[in-house]
């Protein structure tokens, strides 16, 4: 089995979980933030929604300039959910059929002429597209808990939901 097939399977499975967490974001709290240095609930949700598609596109380039991050502000939870669907579709379209040879080829990030990062594209997909995605989803669950919004099951029962009961 090509390596990309296992990554795409994981992406599909985790997209379902991510969707359940994003669905809990209430429109009336999109501008809430737990700290002045933190993203708002809406910004974090939209970032999570966009990660798979953006990172898949970014990772399939050999040489890229370090991006400047600007968080767009969503107007609704539905906008976030729509962005997730588009992002998952985009990632699957970009990554479908990518060979192991391509996955082990180098991905380089520069700032101007200075090389900042060099690693295999597989590492980018694993660490940024997936692990980074999970990290932010965990942050989102803390935001929701702070707002007293029930947390869905993620990897088994949460304090608010038990799929095994």
Q: What is the pLDDT of residues 101-126, one digit of tens each?
A: 999 999 999 999 999 999 999 999 99
| Dihedral pair phi/psi, residue 28, rounded to 5° | -70, -10
Q: Please tell me the predicted confidence (pLDDT) of residue 165.
A: 84
> Would you state the pLDDT for residue 1?
87
CATH of the domain at 66: 1.20.120.450
The mean predicted confidence, pLDDT, of the chain is 96
113 occurs within a structural domain: yes
Q: Is residue 39 part of a domain?
A: yes
Is the residue at 151 inside a domain? no
**pLDDT 10s digits, 68-94:** 888 999 999 999 999 999 999 999 999
Is residue 5 over pLDDT 90? yes
Could you report the per-residue pLDDT of 122-158, keeping only the tens digit for each? Answer: 999 999 999 999 999 999 999 999 999 999 999 999 9
Instruction: Look at residue 51 in the predicted model and tell me its pLDDT.
Output: 97
In a domain, 161, yes or no: no
Enumerate the H helices of 60-131 as residue ranges: 77-95, 100-103, 121-124
Average pLDDT over residues 13-22: 97
Q: Does 90 reside within a domain?
A: yes
Residue 154: predicted pLDDT: 94
Domain of 61, in residue numbers: 3-146
Closest CA to 130 of 42, 14, 19, 21: 14
The residue ranges of DSSP E strands in 10-165, in sequence order, are 63-65, 106-111, 114-120
Task: Check residue 163 and give its pLDDT.
Answer: 87
With respect to residue 160, please indicate whether it lies within any of the assigned structural domains. no
pLDDT of residue 12: 96
Tally the domains of the chain: 1
């Amino acid at each position: 089995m090509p390596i990309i097939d296992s990554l795409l399977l994981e992406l599909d499975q985790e997209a379902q979980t991510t969707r359940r967490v994003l669905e809990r974001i209430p429109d009336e709290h999109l501008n809430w933030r737990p700290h002045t240095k933190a993203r708002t609930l809406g910004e974090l949700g939209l970032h999570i929604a966009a990660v798979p598609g953006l990172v898949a596109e970014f990772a399939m380039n050999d040489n890229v300039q370090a991006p400047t991050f600007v968080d767009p502000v969503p107007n609704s939870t539905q906008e976030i959910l729509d962005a997730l669907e588009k992002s998952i579709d985009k990632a699957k379209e970009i990554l479908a059929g990518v060979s192991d040879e391509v996955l082990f080829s180098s991905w380089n990030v520069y700032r101007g002429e200075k090389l900042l990062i060099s690693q295999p594209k597989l590492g980018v997909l694993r660490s940024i597209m997936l692990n980074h995605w999970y990290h932010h989803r965990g942050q989102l669950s803390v935001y929701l808990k702070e707002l007293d919004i029930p947390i869905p099951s993620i990897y088994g029962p949460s304090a608010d939901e038990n799929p095994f009961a």
